[in-house]
Structure 1
């Protein structure tokens, strides 16, 4: 009789067995970034003690799902595995799930209740449960009926600078209504709540701008699992195009967004690739408006960068970057400088955008 049980990848022998099985099923990308995100892993064993299926949980995402078709009725192991993962998440109070996988598995997940959010030639993203993308959209403030030109800006804002303000202000001047979405992932020096607050305060005078979190639908490109790709060099291409496609189909279309504003990116190759992906995927339905980055007040050769602000926080030299920050952001940083520096000392990264 087949059994299903939680396994622990901290055990070298178990991990080796797990990787051997996944490799036999065509999954052989075990990068440290992918493995570090795993919270729990389950495996199905046949009556001979051989692994015939496995699946893992990373946050609210299912990953590394694979089953052997030999010796079992079609779909039985897959259904049992997904059910176990769902039940485990439900016990932790998580009822909204995501899957990133290969195109050929779309129907398998559809049969167990998952809905496709977006797909490219390299892979797709599906979700199941509540709150879903419809719930996310329904909770957003509605645009005025008179608004014809609707734009969007997606920011991490770690923290919100005058450069971010310039980007939002540019969109607000050229459109009737602007959605500003703040990335919701807590992988930044400033928490989601803090970043959202600073963006709201820094744009409060712009009457046609509404600020909201991006929920789980607008995330940093680095967070997309890509373990099922054969080559890590495909990762950025897959991630950026899938994210752009999701925005176009699930966010822009129902909200009537016809343009998305992004800052030019001379400092980050990954972000520049992301901007290129937006330009390839979004038009003609959504035009991509590239806005030149605002320059530092004291150095016309350097653009304003949130990274520069974070380094100044680390060094305790806030006055060096005071001219780069709106009053609300500067006041917040000055008030909580000690706490922000403590986060850095505890290992919070300050690199990145």
Structure 2
């Protein structure tokens, strides 16, 4: 009978054995982006001492699940690996988990109680446990007769919240009865999720028809989207965009009666431009997409990237023309903390 064991990937021999097994199963991406975030890895050992299955956990995402079905009942080893990973999560008091997998494996996870949230030709995104996406949506505030109102949405990282973000929200606020601003909830930015949400709330407080909420686990950041089973960076962008758009279009927007989504251009980012074009294609025509050109300060485009670079270079006086007073106050009060994060290697590039 196969035995489940913990695999310590800090041991070179163990990691090499693990990688070789996965390579034989067709998985070849062991980049730091994928492997460094792993919290726990298990293996299945058969009676002859061979590694015949493995799976890992990153946060609450199941990754690197692969089994050899030689000399085994089909599905038995897969079930054993997934069960072992969920037992580990339960031991950590985590009762909600996700998996991004090849589309053809979605039904296998569904048989184990996972609920598919979205799928493309390439990949599927599923969840198990609570709080579920319906629980997430139930906590979001509504207004009276919302289904009869003009409701719009903006999704932003706001790393940090700038005057450009504020003007985009102001525009949406002036054109709709209610605007939801979803803040991407991933602590892979210079400004932590809680800080970014707070800055967005303070920076939009004067717009009384704006509701700021965390994007939770359902507005997926590219930094957390597993790519180890995809063939290329371009396929990662395409797949992540499609999954993100389908969840928004088919689950989030109908529940909140969202009819329009606002996007800001990013003239210096090929990835963001591709993302915007893909969202427009997938969301239309059921959800109108309005792409707004970046706002400028004296002909200079306002971007959060510029603000982070100025923080790194200690050019605080130039930041005040790019961010609202609430963001400027936070930067002044937490300047040393932000500098320490940068010195420790926090990436300030990107959007």
Query: What displacement does 1:314 show?
Result: 2.0
Q: Secondary structure at the match of 1:135?
A: helix
Deviations 1:224-272 (A, max 9, x none): 1021123344211111211111221221121111111011110111111
Structure 2 partner of 1:46: 46
Query: What displacement does 1:30 show?
Result: 2.2
Q: Give the superposed CA RMSD.
A: 1.4
Query: What displacement does 1:331 show?
Result: 1.4
Structure 2 partner of 1:312: 310
Assess, with a 3 A threshold, how the Cα gap between structure 1 residues 242 and 208 changes in structure 2: closer, same or farther.
same
Deviations 1:265-297 (A, max 9, x none): 10111111111110121111111110111002x
Query: What displacement does 1:111 show?
Result: 0.8
Structure 2 partner of 1:215: 216
Provide the C-alpha distance between the structure 1 equivalents of 2:291 and 2:232, rounded to a whole number of angstroms. 30
Structure 1 partner of 2:26: 26
Deviations 1:19-70 (A, max 9, x none): 2222222222222311122111111011011111110111100011111222
Structure 2 partner of 1:283: 284
1:69 aligned onto 2:79? no
Structure 1 length normalisation: TM-score? 0.96
State the aligned residue count: 350
Structure 1 partner of 2:271: 270
Contact 1:221 1:243 in 2 (8 A): no
Provide the C-alpha distance between the structure 1 equivalents of 2:116 and 2:312, rounded to a whole number of angstroms. 42
Structure 1 partner of 2:344: 346
Q: Structure 2 stretches of 5 or more lacking a match? A: none
> Which stretch of the first structure deviates more once superposed, 248-257 or 7-16?
7-16
Contact 1:159 1:195 in 2 (8 A): yes
Query: What displacement does 1:110 show?
Result: 0.6
Provide the C-alpha distance between the structure 1 equivalents of 2:125 and 2:221, rounded to a whole number of angstroms. 15
Structure 2 partner of 1:58: 58
Provide the C-alpha distance between the structure 2 equivalents of 1:231 and 1:346, rounded to a whole number of angstroms. 29
Structure 2 partner of 1:13: 13
Provide the C-alpha distance between the structure 2 equivalents of 1:315 and 1:232, rounded to a whole number of angstroms. 30
Contact 2:152 2:179 in 1 (8 A): yes
Provide the C-alpha distance between the structure 2 equivalents of 1:351 and 1:24, rounded to a whole number of angstroms. 35
Structure 2 length normalisation: TM-score? 0.96
Contact 1:28 1:230 in 2 (8 A): no
Contact 1:265 1:272 in 2 (8 A): yes
